[in-house]
Amino acid sequence: MDLLIFLLFATIAVICALNLVLQKHPISSALSLVGVMASLALLYLQLGAEFIAMAQIIVYAGAIMVLFVFVIMLLNAGAEATRGRSWMAQIVGFPVLLTLFGLLCWFAQRTSPTAENVKFGDFTGGGAQQIGYALFTDYLLPFEVTSILILIAIVGAIVLARKELD
């Protein structure tokens, strides 16, 4: 059963990701990205990461993608113009990508040959309580630094996007 769920949502994720790259219009790409994120959230749930799955839905598929869709709407972005690529990019690009993929898969196979299989319910340490405990004990300093980073990002976004005052 676990395997069926994994295969189903992995397939959805890959199809949506391919759609994201192949679509011409940015809004179709944005909606495909929401599909990738939702199916990844299901896979996180399967891996016992309840809190991360919910954060994925709320923060990624919710907040960040709304921001993207809002900017696409605001800029009235149309379908992108296609133009010829250089012959070198056409010849070299695909083998290089394939090499990257092969290397990543090789490392994936090498990393954990003896690891036990993933089953739903094996690991239950990913709830909000455990995450919160770790966040405010072992990871307190990164947490605070991240909050300052967010503050800087907010100020930066406002400074960049405001109207020039003469």
For residue 112, the Cα-to-chain-centroid distance in whole angstroms is 23
Does 142 contact another protein by CB under 8 A? yes
Count residues near another protein (CB under 8 A). Answer: 84
- In contact, 40 and 56? CB cutoff 8 Å: yes
**How many residues are present in the chain?**
166
Convert residues 87-126 into a mask of x (bound to another protein by CB under 8 A) and - (unbound). --x---x---x--xx--xx-xxx-xxx-xxxxx--xx-xx
Does 83 contact another protein by CB under 8 A? yes
Q: What SS3 state is found at 43?
A: helix
Q: For residues 92 and 80, give the distance between their C-alpha atoms in angstroms, rounded to a whole number.
A: 23
Q: Which of residues 27-66 bind another protein (CB under 8 A)?
A: 29-30, 33, 36-37, 40, 43-44, 47-49, 51-52, 55-56, 59-60, 63-64
Q: How far is the CB of 138 from another protein (least distance, A)?
A: 8
